[in-house]
Amino acid sequence: MSETLGTVLDWVAILCILAGSVLSLVAGIGLVRFPDLLSRMHTAAKPQVLGLLLVLVGIGLRLVPVETNVFNVGTLVLVALFQTVTIPVAGHITARVGYRTGRIDESLMAHDELAERLRTEGDVPGSGMAR
């Protein structure tokens, strides 16, 4: 690989790592600053995962010129895959538990479809238990 291409890849990797770090920092600040569960759940899921993916892309670009690090790039791909699969599930579970325990401010929701569904199924929102 030419030296110019290596330099360009290094700079792109640096920019990806810096952008991912800034997104992760903003997500951490949002977890501390946002007032309610839904806002915190959003900031824990969306910018944090995008920040991690950008950091992984930056690390992967830095490892590309070295031909013996196939295992490392494969590990980065696995980490990215598991994060993009598990974070939405964890966010969904957090929202459901928060809803059923009454920790979500209902005035912040425009339309509560889950309350209608729980009423038809016989569950009582906020109690965590079925009737």
Q: What is the pLDDT of residues 94-128, one digit of tens each?
A: 888 888 888 888 887 888 888 888 788 766 555 55
Identify whether 95 is part of a domain.
Answer: yes
Identify whether 127 is part of a domain.
Answer: no
pTM above 0.95, yes or no: no
CA angle 95, 87, 15 (to 5 degrees): 130
Identify whether 131 is part of a domain.
Answer: no
Identify whether 107 is part of a domain.
Answer: yes
Of 16, 24, 104, nearest in space to 59 by CA: 16
Identify whether 129 is part of a domain.
Answer: no
Higher pLDDT, 70 or 89: 89
pLDDT of residue 131: 43
Higher pLDDT, 57 or 70: 57
pLDDT of residue 67: 61
- 130 backbone dihedrals φ, ψ, rounded to 5°: -85, 155
Mean pLDDT value of segment 35-45:
85
Identify whether 49 is part of a domain.
Answer: yes
Identify whether 130 is part of a domain.
Answer: no
DSSP annotation of 123 reads B
| Domain count of the fold of the chain | 1
pLDDT more than 70, % of the chain? 86
Mean pLDDT value of segment 20-29:
93
Q: What is the domain extent for residue 52? A: 3-121
Identify whether 84 is part of a domain.
Answer: yes
